[in-house]
Structure formats: C-alpha cells, structure tokens
Amino acid sequence: MKRAGQAFAFLALSFLVALSAKAGETVGVAGSGVRFTTQTDYSVNGKPLKLNLTGTAMRTKFLVNVYAIGSYVQEGVRAKTADDIVSADCLKQLHLVMERAVNGRDMASNFRASILMNHKEEEFSQELATLETLFQKNKVNKGDQVKLTHIPGVGIHCHVIDKMEVTIKGVKFSQAIWEIYLGKQNLGDDIKKNLVSR
C-alpha cells in the first residue's frame, strides 16, 4: 500500500511539473512519466521573462534512471547547438526531476566529478565548495525538483525546491555546469543530443 501511495504521488508530481509553469503543450522523457512544459517563466530583477524548452533527456547510471532533465533558454535568443547554449550569457535553466533518492554527499560528489571532466579543480575551488555545501545538507528524494538557472552577468541560482537555494556568482562556473550535459566531455551523447532536439 505504501509503495502504491508513493507511485501515485510521483505520478501526481509528474503531472504538476507539466502544468505548474504554464498550461499548454508538454514534452515527455523516454522511460519516465515526467513531462516538461514547452515554455516556462522566470523573473530577473522583478522582470518576468519567458524561456523555451530546447529538449529533454534522462540521466541514468548503471542502467538505472537518476533524474529527468529539461533544458530551457530565454525566448528570442538564437541558441540552436550545444555550443550555443553553453556559451550564451542569457537566462537559461536546467530543470531536474529526481527519479530516485540520492543522498547529498553522492549528489555533491557527482557534480564535482562532472565539472572536472572539462575543468581543473583550482579554476572553481570556492564555487565547488559552495555547491557541495548546498547538496550535502539535503538528501534529494524521488520526485524532488532541482532548478539550475543561469542569471546573465551574475552566475547560477541553484534551487532545491522547498529545501534550499543559493546563488553562486561567476558566469564561467555557470557555463561549466552546462558543459556537464552539453560540453565536449559530457554525461553522454544521448543526453547532449536530446537536450538540443527541439
């Protein structure tokens, strides 16, 4: 009964993810019930802006789903390729929806290792420490949402919904987060291709 309740709660969350930002067209993720809206809103300095979905993908590890991810870029910005999206200093967002529970220590370790695929640790030692503190304090459960939003000219706003949020200054560090999925060294060609599929 407990498992059935958890499954229902996750399906309900999947539905809410699809509707919370804006009613309208949604896009699914292969192997998941999560759906992402094709457009979402975000306010910068009190100014509401729209972001368009560039693609969705599934992060897996050892053939197990870890999280679904949707990539968004500010409306009106011409960013069609992976390189375009990584380098664009515009409002953009990576929206993660967890498919399984991950403890904070593992989440922090995985992000560090992923960033170091393309960069040396000394480039972002302070930023990595801040990001690790964010994740280590918070276990993420199935259905939890993590929004990583690039703020133009500022850096990255990391928000574990209903748990914690922090803004880490540094445009280059923010770009390094996007390189995890869209960079030369990334978490998988399928993820990279699917996040620029629209």
Which of the four pLDDT bands, split at 50, 70 and 90, describes residue 1? low
Q: What pLDDT was estimated at residue 159?
A: 93
Q: What pLDDT was estimated at residue 5?
A: 52
Do residues 55 and 197 lie in contact, with contact meaning Cβ atoms separated by under 8 Å?
A: yes
Digit-coded pLDDT (tens) for 36-89 = 999 999 999 899 999 999 999 999 999 999 999 999 999 999 998 999 999 999
Which of the four pLDDT bands, split at 50, 70 and 90, describes residue 167? very high
Q: What pLDDT was estimated at residue 4?
A: 52
Number of structural domains the chain divides into: 1
Digit-coded pLDDT (tens) for 113-141 = 999 999 999 999 999 999 888 888 888 99
State the average pLDDT for the chain.
Answer: 90
Q: Which has more pLDDT, 147 or 4?
A: 147
- Residue 53 belongs to domain with CATH number: 3.50.70.10
**What is the span of the domain harbouring residue 22?**
2-194
Q: What pLDDT was estimated at residue 120?
A: 96
Q: How far is CA 147 from CA 79, 106, 162, in A?
A: 20, 18, 11
Query: Looking at residues 181-197, what average pLDDT do you find?
Result: 97
pTM: 0.87
